[in-house]
Amino acid sequence: MIRVLLSQEIHPEGRKILEGRFEILTAPDTSQETLLSMAKNIDAIILRTTSKVTREVIENAPKLKIISRTGAGVDNVAVDAATERGILVCNLPAVNNLSVCEHAIAMIMHLAKQLSFMDRAVRDGNWKARNSNLSVELEGKVLGVVGMGNIGALVAKKCHDGFGMKILAYDPYVKEKFRDYDYEFTDTLERLFKESDFITLHCPDTPQTKGMITRDLIYSMKTTAYLINASRGGVIDEQALIDALKEKRIAGAGLDVYQQEPPALDNELLTLDNVILSPHSAALTKEATIRMSAEAAQAVVDYFEGRQPKYIYNITELKNRGLI
């Protein structure tokens, strides 16, 4: 019987699609050692964000035919190694766009209205906090969007159309796509960081983006500006951000992702009152969790029942090699 490994449990709706068709195994933990051991006799892997299918895993999984991600990102898959073996790498490029978009906007609004401070003030009996004038309006503020892919573009649209924010975008790959929009594009991150009131990051974790948000960029921000990251932790120089927050060089930050996940308990981010944090949960709404599990499972079903899965990340390379 075809064996499908879940790197971590998925939603019951996704499991239902697999049951009766395959033998389902669930990894007891997310360690690399466990995945390496369990993948040896596996035909398919449904992969969540918490585990990595490395080249070593692929080389030790001779029966593996398909890796199906429960999200858009494939930075936790050795795609080149999979392609060399003719293994399909499937992802879901649009499945959690709305969830992540809304999470980023929620962070923008939370920071703009200083909700953490106001909540603590009421609980502490500090009613005078209402006169602190810390909160700001979003109307007319400049939103810097780094990465205008599906999620970044959706954040820009909702903030522009819904809140009347001005959009200053950086994305050299899709600039022409938005030429008829009331957005301004910049060719430099330096300008975006200097001029924006809120900056939201929506870029993948690649060698090109790793550490892209440097100390110099962070320290060039307005002292009244906020930085939001619901993409990947590796794109930011995290220590530089911590230093800027501690020194009040920027007004604050909202983070859903970190260089190390989960962050160590002694990470200084956890002690700062001008940053709001969430546990890489932007994509994990009830609705998106069901969609991710069901669609990742369906890709596996489609493959083994002779249909082409809807999204194959490495389809071009596989075709070029005559492997599909």
Q: State how far the Cα of 32 lies from the Cα of 35, in Å rounded to an integer.
A: 5
Using DSSP's 3-state secondary structure scheme, residue 192 falls into helix
Q: Is 103 one of the annotated active-site residues of the chain?
A: no
Q: Across-strand partners of 45?
A: 5, 67
* Residues with Cβ within 8 Å of residue 307, at least 6 apart in sequence: none
* Residues with Cβ within 8 Å of residue 48, at least 6 apart in sequence: 6, 7, 8, 10, 70, 71
Q: Is 120 one of the annotated active-site residues of the chain?
A: no
Contact in structure between 53 and 82 (CB atoms under 8 Å): yes
Q: Is 11 one of the annotated active-site residues of the chain?
A: no
* Residues with Cβ within 8 Å of residue 207, at least 6 apart in sequence: none
Contact in structure between 258 and 269 (CB atoms under 8 Å): yes
Annotated catalytic residue, options 3, 85, 215, 280: 280
Annotated catalytic residue, options 48, 103, 202, 232: 232
* Angle of CA points 167, 171, 175, to nearest 5°: 80
Annotated catalytic residue, options 9, 247, 261, 287: 261
DSSP 10-37: --HHHHHHHBTTBEEEE-SS--HHHHHH
CA 53, 58, 61, 62 dihedral sign is positive
Q: State how far the Cα of 256 lies from the Cα of 108, in Å rounded to an integer.
A: 12
Residues catalogued as catalytic: 232, 261, 280
